[in-house]
Amino acid sequence: MEDSFFEQILKISYGNKMSIDTNLNIYDDGHHIFVEISFNFLNSHLKVNYLLYANETLDFFYNLANAGMLGLSSNDQSKSNVFFIQLPKKDRAEKAFEMITTKLKNSENNFDN
């Protein structure tokens, strides 16, 4: 993520408990699957959304479902800080992964017809 935004996250979270509302919204057209991941850092003004192309990032969603954690870092590769978010409801990530894999299988079947 952008270095300035990442620095804001670190600044507001240092020494404080943080609650982060994390949502996964899945969109598909029968062939292409996109997942919007939104983060709302509660008790602050910080919000950010990312759109991922699930057709090519299935490993990411597999690992998210298994770990129930997500790491954020700066685009600046000279910095080594990582901010981890533990998903409060890991089962939602598991269900999202199942939904994505089902949609991908259906999309492959649609290409075969």
From the list 49, 56, 57, the residue with the least C-alpha distance to 25 is: 49
- Helix 58-67 with 90-112: angle, nearest 10 deg: 150
Number of domains composing the chain: 1
Tens of pLDDT, residues 78-95: 778 899 999 888 888 999
Whole-prediction pTM value?
0.82
Examine the pLDDT at 112 and tell me if it is beyond 70. no
pLDDT of 65: 94
Range list of H helices, 1-113: 3-13, 58-67, 90-112
Segment 103-107 mean pLDDT:
84
Residue 92 sits in which domain range?
3-112
Tens of pLDDT, residues 17-71: 889 999 999 999 988 999 999 999 988 889 999 999 999 999 999 999 999 999 9
pLDDT class for 111, splitting at 50, 70, 90? low
